[in-house]
C-alpha cells in the first residue's frame, strides 16, 4: 500500500494499492498539499486531479495524464514531465525550474506567473497556452509550438538557424546567450559557426530587431 501524506502537517491524505504510483488511477483525486517528492508517477492518470501546493519536486511524471489538473503553486522543480499530457492544466504560479517538459502537451495550459527558469520545453506544444509573466529565463523552447500563446517569446526563422528570444535571452540554433553578448560578439560567433558575411549581417539585423522590440515593450510597461 502506497501512502500519501500532507507536506505541511504530515497527516495521511490517501492510500493507493501497490508499492508505487506508476500507472496509478488518481483521476479527480484531491492531492492538495501532498508530499510527492521523488515519486514515480510515470503513466499515472491524474486528469482533473487537485494538486495545488503539492510538492512534486524530482518526481517522475513521464507520460502522465495531467489533463485539466489543478497544479496552482505546485512545486515541480527538477520533475520529469516529458511527454506528459498537461492540456488545459492550471499551472499558475507553479515552480517548474529545471523541469523536463520536452514533448509535453501544454496546449491551453495556464502557465501565468510560473517559474520556468532553465526548463526543457523543446518540442512541447504550447499552442494557446497562457505564459503571461512567466519566468522563461534560460528555458529551452527549441521546436516548441507557440501558436496563439500569450507570451513574450519571439521566434524568427533565419537562413541557417531558428532564433528564439525569451526576454533578453536569445537562442540561435543550439547556442543560448544574453542579447547583449550576442550584440557584442555576433561577428566572432558567426565566424566560429562558419556563417558567411551575408549570413552574419542578416543575423545582426535580426538581433537589432529583437533589441528594438524589447525597448518598445519596456516603454509600454512604464507608460
Q: Are 99 and 81 in contact (CB under 8 A)?
A: yes
For the chain, give the mean pLDDT. Answer: 93
Task: Indicate whether 123 and 104 sit together in one domain.
Answer: yes
Closest CA to 73 of 32, 21, 118: 32
Cell of 75: 512545486
Task: Indicate whether 5 and 81 sit together in one domain.
Answer: yes
Using CA atoms, how far apart are residues 119 and 203, in angstroms rounded to an integer?
26
Using CA atoms, how far apart are residues 27 and 136, in angstroms rounded to an integer?
29
Scored b (16 or more CB within 10 A) or e, 170-206 reads bbbeeebbebeebeeebeebbeebebeeebbebbeeb
Task: Indicate whether 44 and 127 sit together in one domain.
Answer: yes
Task: Indicate whether 25 and 105 sit together in one domain.
Answer: yes
Cell of 205: 539585423
Using CA atoms, how far apart are residues 191 and 187, in angstroms rounded to an integer?
6
Using CA atoms, how far apart are residues 91 and 184, in angstroms rounded to an integer?
37
The pLDDT assigned to 174 comes to 87
From 122, 151, 180, give the residue that closes a domain. 151
From 120, 151, 182, give the residue that closes a domain. 151
Cell of 176: 543560448
The pLDDT assigned to 221 comes to 66
Task: Indicate whether 138 and 94 sit together in one domain.
Answer: yes
From 106, 136, 151, give the residue that closes a domain. 151
The pLDDT assigned to 181 comes to 96
Closest CA to 42 of 85, 105, 92: 85
Task: Indicate whether 117 and 185 sit together in one domain.
Answer: no
Q: How far is CA 34 from CA 71, 86, 116, in A?
A: 11, 19, 21
Task: Indicate whether 177 and 70 sit together in one domain.
Answer: no
* Predicted model pTM: 0.80
Task: Indicate whether 147 and 166 sit together in one domain.
Answer: no
What's the number of domains the chain is made of? 2
Structural domain of residue 52, as residue ranges?
1-151
Task: Indicate whether 14 and 75 sit together in one domain.
Answer: yes
Task: Indicate whether 184 and 218 sit together in one domain.
Answer: yes
Helix (H) or strand (E) run with residue 176 in it = strand 175-178
Task: Indicate whether 143 and 160 sit together in one domain.
Answer: no
Helix (H, G, I), strand (E, B) or coil at 220: helix
Residue ranges of the chain with pLDDT lower than 50? none
DSSP state of 214: H
Task: Indicate whether 122 and 71 sit together in one domain.
Answer: yes
The pLDDT assigned to 133 comes to 86
Amino acid at each position: 500500500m502506497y501512502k500519501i501524506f500532507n507536506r505541511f502537517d504530515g497527516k495521511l491524505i490517501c492510500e493507493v494499492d501497490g508499492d508505487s504510483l506508476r500507472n496509478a488511477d488518481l483521476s479527480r483525486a484531491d492531492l492538495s498539499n501532498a508530499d510527492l517528492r521523488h515519486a514515480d508517477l510515470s503513466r499515472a492518470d491524474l486528469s482533473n486531479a487537485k494538486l495545488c501546493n503539492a510538492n512534486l519536486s524530482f518526481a517522475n511524471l513521464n507520460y502522465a495524464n495531467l489533463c485539466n489538473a489543478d497544479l496552482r503553486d505546485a512545486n515541480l522543480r527538477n520533475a520529469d514531465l516529458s511527454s506528459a499530457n498537461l492540456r488545459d492544466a492550471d499551472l499558475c504560479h507553479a515552480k517548474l525550474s529545471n523541469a523536463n517538459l520536452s514533448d509535453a502537451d501544454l496546449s491551453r495550459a495556464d502557465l501565468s506567473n510560473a517559474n520556468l527558469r532553465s526548463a526543457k520545453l523543446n518540442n512541447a506544444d504550447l499552442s494557446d497556452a497562457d505564459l503571461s509573466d512567466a519566468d522563461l529565463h534560460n528555458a529551452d523552447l527549441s521546436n516548441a509550438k507557440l501558436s496563439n500563446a500569450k507570451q513574450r517569446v519571439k521566434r524568427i526563422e533565419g537562413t541557417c538557424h531558428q532564433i528564439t528570444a525569451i526576454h533578453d535571452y536569445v537562442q540561435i540554433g543550439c547556442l543560448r546567450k544574453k542579447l547583449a553578448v550576442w550584440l557584442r560578439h555576433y561577428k566572432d560567433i558567426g565566424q566560429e559557426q562558419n556563417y558567411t558575411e551575408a549570413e552574419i549581417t542578416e543575423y545582426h539585423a535580426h538581433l537589432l530587431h529583437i533589441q528594438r522590440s524589447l525597448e518598445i515593450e519596456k516603454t509600454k510597461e512604464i507608460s
